[in-house]
Amino acid sequence: MLLAGDVGGTKALLGLFERGTTRPLPLFVHAYATGQFDSFDALLNAFTVDACRPLHVEAVAIGVAGPVISGIARLTNGAWAVHAEKMAARCRTSRVALLNDVSALAACVPVLADDELEILQDGTPDPEGNAVVIAAGTGLGEATLHRVRGTLVPLSSEGGHADFGPRSDREVELVRRLLEERGRVEVEQVVSGVGLTHFYRLTHTSAPCPIVDRVTPNPAAVTESAMAGRCPFCVEALDLFVSAYGSSAGNLALQGVATAGVFVGGGIALKILQLLRRGGFMKAFRDKPPMTGLLTRMPVKVIVNPEAGLCGAAVVAASLA
């Protein structure tokens, strides 16, 4: 039996798996609100009770939304950490892997079925090429899948914390505002749930919003208002966000030379899939001359399986056992 986890700043998924033919098969999976627990041990305690069994497993792999250094993974948008040594003792196994959550998501890419992917651009996939994964949610995660001897190998990244480069007058205006507030603007402050609220404040400077609380705007509320067309300024905010997301995906695709595919994951993509299909995302993705031709040949797909990160962690656990 395998233990896998996908721990984000907002939500955590834990699951027990058994080996399968193409990928591990789930036996028991449970979702938790990360903020309701003051430590990873407390989260594991709750999972043990819910699973009605002790956590004695062959191997463990946990994806965490943050960097992994010296066997310790710390949540970037959370208050606690996961320790590989403690996990090994708790689960009575030396086969423990901690990895960035988007690296876990990337580990699932080679085993995803067609019905777990929504195609935004067919492209011309290169079977010998690299791939990349970008996932916006509470934060922004990125990972590269390098082709090594015919196999796609996930490599973690903290590229979401790189500097953001504006492409339009509207984005320049946003960056100026954020510079005044924070002194530095990273990509995650633009392409994430928080980033959407920053766009919301930008587009509502001339008029109040009749739908969403301007003092404490909720990204989900902004999205709902925009998708339903209830407020034109919410619509503009979401359109600006989608364009910035597409451009960031194109940047990552160029950095990884992702001729085997670009995979968009995370909770936000699932909620705005209808909008991603309309073309603004892909227009911004391709608008990078002189590399437009290269970007046009790259397949671009949205991962529509909400448990793909957990599946990827299980794939890593199976490779250890």
Whether 58 and 157 map to the same domain: the answer is no
Single-letter code of the amino acid located at 118 = E
pLDDT at 27: 95
Strand 117-121's sheet: what is its strand order? 117-121, 300-303, 261-265, 131-136, 140-148, 151-157
Task: Write out the two tokens for 273.
Answer: 């899939």
pLDDT at 197: 96
Whether 83 and 193 map to the same domain: the answer is no
CATH of the domain at 93: 3.30.420.40
Whether 29 and 125 map to the same domain: the answer is no
Whether 290 and 315 map to the same domain: the answer is no
Whether 149 and 293 map to the same domain: the answer is yes
Whether 33 and 142 map to the same domain: the answer is no
Query: Which stretches of the chain drop beneath a pLDDT of 50?
Result: none
Whether 37 and 88 map to the same domain: the answer is yes
Whether 162 and 255 map to the same domain: the answer is yes
Whether 274 and 229 map to the same domain: the answer is yes
Containing structural domain, residue 68: 2-107+307-320
Residues 8-42: tens digit of each pLDDT: 888 999 999 999 989 999 999 999 999 899 999 99
Q: What is the spatial distance between Cα 143 and Cα 101, in angstroms, rounded to a whole number?
A: 9
- Give the global pTM: 0.93
pLDDT at 234: 96
CATH of the domain at 225: 3.40.367.20
Q: What is the spatial distance between Cα 147 and Cα 135, in angstroms, rounded to a whole number?
A: 20
pLDDT at 198: 97
Whether 80 and 181 map to the same domain: the answer is no
Residues in the chain: 321
Output DSSP code: residue 69: E
Indicate left, alpha or beta for 123 from its phi (over 0: left) and psi (-120 to 50: alpha): left
pLDDT at 240: 98
Whether 121 and 101 map to the same domain: the answer is no
Q: What is the spatial distance between Cα 199 and Cα 201, in angstroms, rounded to a whole number?
A: 5
Residues 67-114: tens digit of each pLDDT: 999 999 998 887 888 999 998 988 889 999 999 999 999 999 999 999
Domains in the chain: how many in total? Answer: 2
**Angle at Cα 138 formed by Cα 209 and Cα 47, nearest 5°?**
130
Whether 25 and 99 map to the same domain: the answer is yes
